[in-house]
Amino acid sequence: MENVKLPDLSQGVSADRLANGQMLQGKVAEEDVLLVRQDDQFFAVGANCTHYHANLAEGSIVGDEVRCPLHHACFNLRTGMARCAPAFDAIPRWRVERVAETVFVREKLPALAQYPEAGSPKPPHSPSSVVIVGGGAAGLAAADMLRRKGYAGPLAMISADDSAPYDRPNVSKDYIQQPIPDEWMNLRLPDFYKEQGIDLILNSRVSSIDVRRKQLQLLDGKTREYDALLLATGADLIKLAIPGANDSDVFYVRTWSDARALFQKAGSAKRVAVVGASFIGLEVASALRSRGLEVHVVAPEAQPFERTLGAEVGGFFRALHESQGVNFHLSRTVSRRDGTLVTLSDGSEFHADFLVLGVGVRPALALAEAAGLKIDRGVLVNQYLETSVAGIYAAGDIARWPDPHTGQQIRVEHWVVAERQGQVAARNILGHQEPFDFVPFFWTAQFGITLKYVGHAERWDSVEIQGSLDAHDCAILYKQSGKTLAVATIGRDGQSLESEAALEASLRSSPRAVHD
Ligand SMILES: Cc1cc2nc3c(=O)[nH]c(=O)nc-3n(C[C@H](O)[C@H](O)[C@H](O)COP(=O)(O)OP(=O)(O)OC[C@H]3O[C@@H](n4cnc5c(N)ncnc54)[C@H](O)[C@@H]3O)c2cc1C
Ligand code: FES
């Protein structure tokens, strides 16, 4: 859009220029504005997503919302409110006036109140206190939504982390590749918690839940009562002992502190062994190779991502990494390390100054399990994200929920899913009966290539590739018995949004339930 002169929407646009469901990007007094026609009504909203400022003109219109092309945040066209994560803040709005067949965008409208949201009805239920265990994606999104929806009672978020909620996906990407300001990592500025009366308790681990007395025991000996409880404890790293390796040379990638330590180490090293060819492993490989390190990836599988994305996509990512100079040692594991010498299971060797272990995570279930909540490879929740104990909800990496799209109980480790579950759980804590029926979405970024994935396919019997992986312009459809379960895209953000909408539509004739 940079060299294209955008129309001045205040001068008027012919109504014919836009069909229903279409949008036009323009300017109003130097600001980027989207004019949208939907159901024969016109709306004017800001053109930049409040998450990472993507151009919403490249997104899509679904019902009364505009969706972002980058990470699929949704904004209400009437109010500008960020209806679903990963964006939390509203986009601005302008008054629109239609005079005969010309549509004029007039003055900018005052921003609507967000805490609580203007026009939000009184919550049907108001617990006497809410405690959230976990200060990650789901925890923060839930706390934010509770205040947005008018919950005014005591609200605490207890987190074992030493940092306030931050952008975890960056931990394996930009943050370890280049110096970036801390403000980019914080999901909310420090003042937010004070302003919203959220008691953010960091460096504090909940050790047990007394379900009968509705009381939490903290590791430091303190206790905390709750009326409603949200468990959002995420995942624990799987650790691996490498014979001969010093702890000081072994790095993991989960927290912001991990990222700080890794960023620093990479600044004084030349060679790294990345153990594990998962998303985290290969994102780290990409970031550190981009910093000029010699990178060796060691993993037991024959092809990266084969189980999650299929052999062809796995082969594509492997070739992408190899073209950038990453060395793969697949179908092998690390046997030992002596000094800088790394010896693999087949006897082959190379030198590395340090190791990064990305060998997977386990959902952090210990707390829920000890409290007697029903567990099945995750905390079992119903469609409202409530656990087997009334008043206790679970969201994010730990939750296994009945996914209406696959008809299965599923658990995923996706950032946007965790945030949206936190948001839905918050509304349900306040008495809304909102099923969690979002289509799962995740992305990964490596060497400037972003893959986006909508849906959920643990198994498939055919893969259809539309377009070209090599041209970085394709959609990969994962199908079972002819039904499309999931769609991955590279360079086709529009198709990713369309696929998401199609998966939603296949569930019901009306759009997804929304609670503004
Ligand atoms: C490095 C990295 C990169 C990622 N990149 C992507 C990506 O690009 N795209 C994508 O879709 N997904 C990505 N993910 C996955 C995504 O970050 C997770 O799915 C998401 O963070 C899960 O959110 P959550 O709230 O369930 O858990 P988390 O965000 O992990 O938060 C869990 C919180 O619970 C706290 N906690 C745990 N136990 C206790 C306890 N007993 N008491 C108190 N606090 C406790 C932790 O300290 C933490 O604050 C990435 C994950 C990692 C680690
Ligand atoms: S930039 Fe819009 S959702 Fe991330």
Q: DSSP characters for 85-153?
A: TT--SPPPEEEEEEETTEEEEEEEPPPPPBTTBTTPPPPS---S-EEEE--SHHHHHHHHHHHHTT--S
* Ligand at shortest distance from the CA of 66: 2
Per-residue 3-state assignment (H helix, E strand, C coil) for 202-235: CCCCEEEEECCCCEEEECCCCEEECCEEEECCCE
- pLDDT tens figures, 277-294: 999 999 999 999 999 999
Instruction: State the distance from the centre of ligand 2 to the C-alpha of 288, rounded, in angstroms.
Output: 25
pLDDT score recorded for residue 510:
46
Instruction: Yes or no: say if 205 and 192 are a contact pair by the CB < 8 Å rule.
Output: no
Query: Phi/psi of residue 330, each to 5°?
Result: -90, 170
CA 142 / ligand 1 centre spacing (Å): 14
Token code pair at residue 373: 């909540």
pLDDT greater than 50 at residue 196: yes
Question: How many Å lie between the centroid of ligand 2 and the Cα of residue 299?
Answer: 32
The whole-number average pLDDT for the span 379-388 is 98
- Does residue 509 surpass a pLDDT of 80? no
Q: Is 264 exposed, middle or buried (0-12, 13-18, 19+ CB in 10 A)?
A: exposed
68 CB within 6 A, ligand 2: yes
Q: Is the CB of 59 under 6 A from ligand 2?
A: no
Determine which helix (DSSP H) or strand (DSSP E) holds 295, and give its type and residue range.
strand 294-299
pLDDT single digits (tens) 21-74: 999 999 999 999 999 999 999 999 999 999 999 999 999 999 999 999 999 999
Taking each helix axis as running N to C, give the angle between helix 137-148 and helix 415-429, from 0 to 180 degrees, rounded to the nearest 10: 40
Residue whose pair of structure tokens reads 């404890």 in the numeric block: 233
- Residue 283 CA, closest ligand 1 atom number: 3
Number of the ligand 2 atom closest to the C-alpha atom of 49: 2
Q: What is the mean pLDDT of residues 443-471?
A: 97
What's the pLDDT tens digit per position in 147-158?
Answer: 999 999 999 999
Q: Is the CB of 84 under 6 A from ligand 2?
A: no
Residue-wise pLDDT for 100-117, tens only, equals 999 999 999 999 999 999
Cβ of 52 closer than 6 Å to ligand 2, yes or no, is yes
CA separation (Å) from 30 to 9, 10, 97? 11, 11, 19
The predicted-structure confidence for 303-353, as pLDDT tens digits, reads as follows 999 999 999 999 999 999 999 999 999 999 999 999 999 999 999 999 999
DSSP bridge pairs for 199: 156
* Nearest ligand by distance to the CA of 143: 1
Looking at the CA of 88, name the nearest ligand. 2
Tell me what pLDDT residue 163 has: 97
What's the confidence (pLDDT) of residue 508? 66
The residue nearest atom 29 of ligand 1, judged by CA position, is 136
Which whole number is the average pLDDT over 149-171? Answer: 98
Q: Which residue is closest in CA terms to ligand 2's atom 1?
A: 52
Ligand 1 pocket by Cβ (under 6 Å): 133-139, 158-161, 168-169, 171-172, 205-206, 232-235, 253-254, 280, 364, 367, 396-397, 413-416, 418, 442-444
Q: Are strands 228-231 and 379-380 parallel, antiparallel or unpaired?
A: unpaired
Residue nearest to atom 3 of ligand 2 (CA): 71
85 CA distance to ligand 2 centroid (A)?
Answer: 9
Supply the pTM of this predicted model.
0.97
Per-chain mean pLDDT for the chain: 96
Does the C-beta of 160 come closer than 6 Å to ligand 2?
no
Alpha helices in 239-373 (DSSP H): 256-267, 279-290, 306-309, 311-323, 366-370
Backbone angles phi, psi at 353, to 5 degrees: -75, -25
Q: Residue 317: helix, strand or coil by DSSP?
A: helix
Name the residue with the closest Cα to ligand 1, atom 3.
169
Q: How far is the CA of 418 from the centre of ligand 2 (A)?
A: 15
Pocket test for ligand 1, best of 71, 72, 159 (most atoms within 8 A of CB): 159
Share of the chain above pLDDT 90, in %: 95
Instruction: Among 58, 66, 68, 420, name the best residue to mutate to test ligand 2's pocket (greatest count of ligand atoms within 8 A of Cβ).
Output: 68
Smallest Cα–Cα separation from 358: which of 446, 233, 456?
446
Would you say the CB of residue 85 lies under 6 angstroms from ligand 2? no
- For ligand 2, whether the C-beta of 67 sits within 6 Å is no
How far apart are the C-alpha atoms of 5 and 2, rounded to whole Å?
Answer: 8
Cα–Cα distance for residue pair 126/123, rounded to 1 Å: 7
Distances from the Cα of 225 to the Cαs of 132, 211, 218, 413, 457, in angstroms?
Answer: 11, 10, 11, 29, 40
Q: State the pairing for strand pair 130-133/155-158.
A: parallel
Q: How confident is the model at residue 183 (pLDDT cuts 50, 70, 90)?
A: confident
Amino acid at 332: R
Q: Which two tokens stand for residue 263?
A: 């960023």
Average pLDDT over residues 261-274: 97
Q: No. of H helices and E strands in the chain?
A: 10, 36
Q: How far is the CA of 70 from the centre of ligand 2 (A)?
A: 5
CA 421 to CA 84: how far, in whole Å? Answer: 10
Q: What contacts 18, CB < 8 A, 6 or more positions away? A: 24, 35, 36, 37, 42, 103
| Tens digit of each residue's pLDDT (9 = 90 or more) over 226-250 | 999 999 999 999 999 999 999 999 9
Please report, as a single letter, which amino acid is at residue 491: G
